[in-house]
Amino acid sequence: MKFTSEDLAGKVAVVTGGGGVLCATMAKALAANGVKVAVLDLKAEAAEAVAAHIRSEGGQAVGLAANVLDKASLETAHAQVLQQLGPCDILINGAGGNHPKGTTSKNFLLAEDLEAEQEGLKTFFDMDPEGIKFVFDLNFIGTLLPTQVFARDMVGREGATIINVSSMNAFRPLTKIPAYSGAKAAVSNFTQWLAVHFSKVGIRVNAMAPGFFLTEQNRTLLTTADGSLTDRGNTIISHTPMERFGTPEDLLGTLLWLCGDGSKFVTGVVVPIDGGFSAFSGV
């Protein structure tokens, strides 16, 4: 299915985390609708690979290395975007992720977990504050800093919009991953705050909250080597009324709606794209 939005042609979009599967798909969809796209990623080769694909399809794109936790790095990328594409109209804050040090081994703490050392067992009490800080920084600071750098050019520009990437974890925290859940809740809250703050200068701010999409980050948690589901994968599917994981293309209709004039009176919302997961009580 081809997703189209005729009112985006000629605009400039900056996509952080653009080398990843989900954000690369979003970058390509924007380019297919006539948007000039700056693909930003920590890995220059990943960003350039996506940009090269867009150019091979007749679109206009540049791939740039940028660290969303380093303002100087972002300012360097910003200068390159201005020179090569022009000022930003659309900012997709897609960079994010989790870290093993912000994760527990089990869903629930049992008293016996504290009685004797078990190899490989990590309880809440073993979680590394540095790992938790990394997750919060990557997801929240990694949304704040690109917004500081690129949104200044968006002030007063017609149709300027920022789309953050939250998660279903922001609505209800998942077991094992408190750092990631808390960080994405911060992204959702920041989206609402920023929408109000920017409301007088013409910048809309919204967020997408994907449900469960298979990516390289979570594939081994949700599926086995032969492609069958793990216990956690089965639990997720059993709590998703549409009974499947999302595909990257499932994000595109919402993306183009939030970027275009069809949502010009929409700001400060977090849109679940989750196959009904957030609506299902489990019974």
Q: Are residues 226 and 107 in the same domain?
A: no
99 is a domain residue: yes
Residues 183 and 240 in one domain: no
Residue with tokens 């275009």: 260
Same domain? 129 vs 241:
no
Task: State mean pLDDT over 135-154.
Answer: 97
Residue 128 belongs to a domain: yes
Domain count, the chain: 2
In this structure, are 106 and 119 located in the same domain?
Answer: yes
Predicted confidence at residue 230, as pLDDT, reads 83
* pLDDT of 131 over the 70 cut: yes
Question: Residue 179: helix, strand or coil by DSSP?
Answer: helix
- Examine residue 95 and state whether it is found in any structural domain, yes or no: yes
Report the mean per-residue pLDDT for the chain. 93
> Per-residue pLDDT for 229 more than 60?
yes
Q: What is the dihedral of CA 93, 98, 102, 104, to 10 degrees?
A: 140
Residues 33 and 146 in one domain: yes
| Tally of CA atoms within 13 A in the half-sphere of 265 that contains its CB | 0
% of the chain at pLDDT higher than 90: 79
Nearest residue to 91 (alpha-carbon basis) of 157, 178, 173: 157
Name which residue leads in pLDDT, 172 or 70.
70
Q: Can you give the CATH number for the domain in which 43 is found?
A: 3.40.50.720
Tell me: do 258 and 241 sit in the same domain: no
Looking at the predicted structure, is the pLDDT value of residue 266 above 90?
Answer: yes
Overall pTM surpassing 0.75 (yes/no): yes
Residue 281 covered by a domain: no
Is there a single domain that holds both residue 63 and residue 85? Answer: yes
Q: Are 60 and 177 contained in the same domain?
A: yes
- Residue 1 counted as domain residue: no
In a domain, 187, yes or no: yes
> Percentage of the chain with pLDDT > 70?
98
pLDDT number for residue 3? 62
Confidence band for 39, pLDDT divided at 50, 70 and 90:
very high
CB 39 within 8 A of CB 62: yes
Same domain, 149 and 224: no
Better-predicted residue by pLDDT, 238 or 206: 206
Q: Is residue 283 part of a domain?
A: no
What is the residue range of 235's domain? 220-245
Catalytic annotation, residues: 180
State mean pLDDT over 93-121.
90
Q: Is residue 282 part of a domain?
A: no
231 and 252 share a domain? no
Q: Is the pLDDT of residue 28 over 60?
A: yes
Give the pLDDT band of residue 1 (cuts 50, 70, 90).
Answer: low
pLDDT at residue number 4: 63
Render pLDDT for 192-222 as a digit per residue (tens, 0 to 9): 999 999 999 999 999 999 998 887 777 777 8
Same domain, 205 and 232: no
CB 95 within 8 A of CB 150: no
Tens of pLDDT, residue by residue over 74-101, are: 999 999 999 999 999 999 999 999 898 9
CA proximity to 266, closest of 210, 209, 198, 205: 205
- Say if residue 98 is in the same domain as residue 238: no
Higher pLDDT, 225 or 142: 142
pLDDT at 88: 98
